Every structure is written in structure tokens, then in C-alpha cells.
Amino acid sequence: MPAVPVTVATAVERTVPIQLRLIGNVESYASITVKAQVAGELVRIHFTEGQEVRKGDLLFEIDRRPYEQALHQAEANLNRDIAQQQQAEANLARDIAQAENARTQAARYAKLATEGVISKEQNDTMRTSARSADESTRADQAAIESARAAVLADKAAVEKAKLDREYCEIHSPIDGRTGSLQVKQGTLIKSNADTAMVTVNQLYPTYVTFSVPEDQLGAIRKSMAQGPLAVEAHVPSDPGEPARGQLSFIDNTVDSATGSIKLKATFSNKERKLWPGQFVNVVLTIGADSNATVVPSEAVQNGQQGPFAFVVKADQTVENRVLTVGRTIGRETVITKGIAPGETVVTDGQLRLIQGFKVNIVTNGPGKAGGASQ
């Protein structure tokens, strides 16, 4: 048999990351349902559906005229009750002076009565007048307290009216992207309605949640104690670079039904690769293996006895080796048993090979160009 042309590569020993590959779901960092806190006609909408907004941006305007009138009424009531309080204080000052004079007169008449200058009836009349003046001052004091309470209530009403007027303008509570509008201009809005006017989702940063088997929890916690763990999120429909983040949360309970535990990673998401509700392929790196033997993934074939590869011996013949394979990282596969570092493996042309066939190593293998060569 003539030598079979093949391309080859050399198995090498290198440090490879220890990774878990899982399915994750993207969650908003914050999701706010926007509702009105006052009722009224929606007079203006200041954004379009799907628009990115900043915290504090004006979203909606509700007709403020009824609330302006309520504020004017509350301010008028406050001014009226302040005037009544001032009147009550003036009455108190007047009655205090009158009471002082009445007490002085009563003391004078009491002395004259003991000397027999005036009658007992005159003395009793003056004493009664003094007591009446004292009661008037107490009544004035109560009137002042009532007026002060009314003023405090009016001030609270004014503040409430001002707050209601401010609520006529609805601003974005966060930086984010608006969703579908649930209201139209001219709609009569209810206060705290069951349906939100719009939902604002914060897209960056964002979360990706996923679950890992409980037997990996110990290794994850040990690695986290040494530093942040890197997480990649691969969008299935996006062949570009994955989004990169860090593990930020481990749930406090293992799900007994599935034997898994929920984890959460935080991504800056500045490039907007991740969208809430999206499913992504997650790669969690929990460590590294510094003595791993790796070969190109195309060298590993599947047979009846499991994975195998053709190893090129010194006499340019091939040997069929049954392998125990580990993780696949990019375009390389970790070999845990079957191939040693430095051995040469066939990466293209395996379909024409069987045990003991002689090979001719070429740069461009049959059926495709490129590949590692020796």
C-alpha cells in the first residue's frame, strides 16, 4: 500500500482552564414598572418605545391644572388660619392685660371690704370679674392652640398639593431602555393602576443566572476565596467574542429536587450583547490544570470502543489509540489517558487509515488545507 497523505500535530503539555459549561438566562440588573401616583389626563409622552433613557429623564406629563388649583386652595386656607392664629394671640394679649387689671381691682376691693368701706356684694362682684378674666385668658390660649394645629394641618395640605403637582411629571427612575407603551396621549390615567404605563429595563450592567451541580459547589467556593471567578456568556446566534463577567452570587440553598444550586454572574454589557430573557451558553472558569495533555480536537475520532486517535510512530506507521478525553477548550481537547506529550497525532486523512498503515506527512492534508504539521 502506498503511504497515505495526512496532516499531523504534536500533543503538548500546557496549563488549561478548568471550566463548567452550562445554560444561563439573562436578567435585568433592574426592571422598573412605571405607574402614575396621581390621576389625570395624560397630556404628553416624551420618549419613543425602545428608547434608551437616563435616570431623571422626563417620560410622561399628566394635566397639572387640577393640582395647581388644589395648591392655591391649600395656600389660601393656610393664610386664613395664620391670620386667625394672629388674631387669637392678640386676643390673648388683650385679655391678659384685662385679667391683670381685674386681679388688681379685686385685691383693692377685698382690702376695702375688710375695712368696711364697701359692701360685701361689691367685693364679690369684683372677685367674680377677676375669675372671669382669668377664664378668658385660658379660652384664648386654647383658641391659639387650635389655630396653631389648623396652621400645621394647612402646611401639610400645601406640601401634599405641591407633591401631587410634582407627580404630574413622571421621570425615569433608572438608566435603561423603555419597553412597549401601554398608554396613549389623551388617556385618563388612574393613580397606581394595575397596568404599568411602561417598563424600563437596565441593560448594563446585567445579570446571567445559571445552575451548577451541587458536587461542584466546594470547588467553586474554594476558587472564589482566592479571587473573582471569570464567566463567559456566549450568545448562540452571535459568532463574535463572548460577553465577559464575574461570578457575583451563590444561592444559600441547594435545590433538593434537581440537586443543583443557583449562581449569578454580573456583566458590564457595555456592548449590549446580552438582553433580558435571552438564553446563553455559560462558561464558568473555576481553576486551571497546569499539566494537561492537549491535542487539536480534529485529531479525536469516535469509534465503537469510544474516542480514539491515530498516533504516528517513528517508522511513519500509525497506531490506533483508544483515548480517555477530558474538556474541550476552543479547538483543543484535553487527553487524560492514551497520548503522552510530544507524540504526533493525525489531524486529517483518518478515513483512509487503519492500524499499521504507513503515512506521508504533508502540509496540506487531503480534503482541506491548513492544519498543524510536523
> pLDDT of 262-289, one tens digit each?
999 999 998 889 999 999 999 999 988 8
Q: Establish if 72 belongs to a structural domain.
A: yes
* pLDDT tens-digit series, residues 180-231: 999 999 999 999 999 999 999 999 899 999 999 999 999 999 999 988 999 9
Co-location of 298 and 211 in the same domain = yes
Report whether pLDDT(120) > 70.
yes
Mean pLDDT of 161-165: 96
Q: Establish if 160 belongs to a structural domain.
A: no
Please classify residue 36 by burial: count the beta carbons closer than 10 Å to its beta carbon, then call 0-12 exposed, 13-18 middle and 19+ buried.
buried
- List beta partners, residue 153: none
Co-location of 18 and 95 in the same domain = no
Between CA 19 and CA 207 the distance in angstroms is 19
Co-location of 301 and 344 in the same domain = yes
8 Å CB contact between 307 and 336: no
Q: Establish if 16 belongs to a structural domain.
A: yes
Q: Establish if 368 belongs to a structural domain.
A: no
In terms of residue numbers, what domain contains 113? 66-154
Co-location of 190 and 207 in the same domain = no
| Chain centroid, CA 275 distance in Å | 14
Question: H/E element holding 24?
Answer: strand 12-34
Counting the structural domains of the chain, the total is 3
Burial 101-112 (b: 16+ CB within 10 A, else e): ebbeebeebeee
Confidence band for 53, pLDDT divided at 50, 70 and 90:
very high
* pLDDT tens-digit series, residues 226-267: 889 999 999 998 888 999 999 999 999 999 999 999 999 999
Report whether pLDDT(328) > 70.
yes
8 Å CB contact between 365 and 348: yes
Between CA 295 and CA 297 the distance in angstroms is 6
Co-location of 354 and 312 in the same domain = yes
Q: Establish if 325 belongs to a structural domain.
A: yes
* Angle subtended by helix axes 120-166 and 65-114, to nearest 10: 170
Co-location of 10 and 53 in the same domain = no
Residue 169 C-alpha cell reads as 411629571
Arithmetic mean of pLDDT over the chain:
89
Residue 39 C-alpha cell reads as 390621576
* pLDDT tens-digit series, residues 305-315: 899 999 999 99
Q: Which of 121, 154, 187 is where one domain is finished?
A: 154
Co-location of 290 and 354 in the same domain = yes
| Chain centroid, CA 46 distance in Å | 24
Co-location of 82 and 17 in the same domain = no
Q: Establish if 278 belongs to a structural domain.
A: yes
| CATH number of the domain bearing residue 54 | 2.40.50.100
**Percent of the chain scoring above 90 in pLDDT:** 68
Q: Establish if 366 belongs to a structural domain.
A: no
Co-location of 82 and 126 in the same domain = yes
Co-location of 79 and 94 in the same domain = yes
Residue with cell 402614575: 36
Co-location of 108 and 75 in the same domain = yes
Identity of residue 337: K
Q: Establish if 108 belongs to a structural domain.
A: yes
| CATH number of the domain bearing residue 303 | 2.40.30.170
Co-location of 233 and 357 in the same domain = yes
Between CA 47 and CA 180 the distance in angstroms is 11
> Which residues have CB under 8 Å from 94's CB, separation 6+?
none
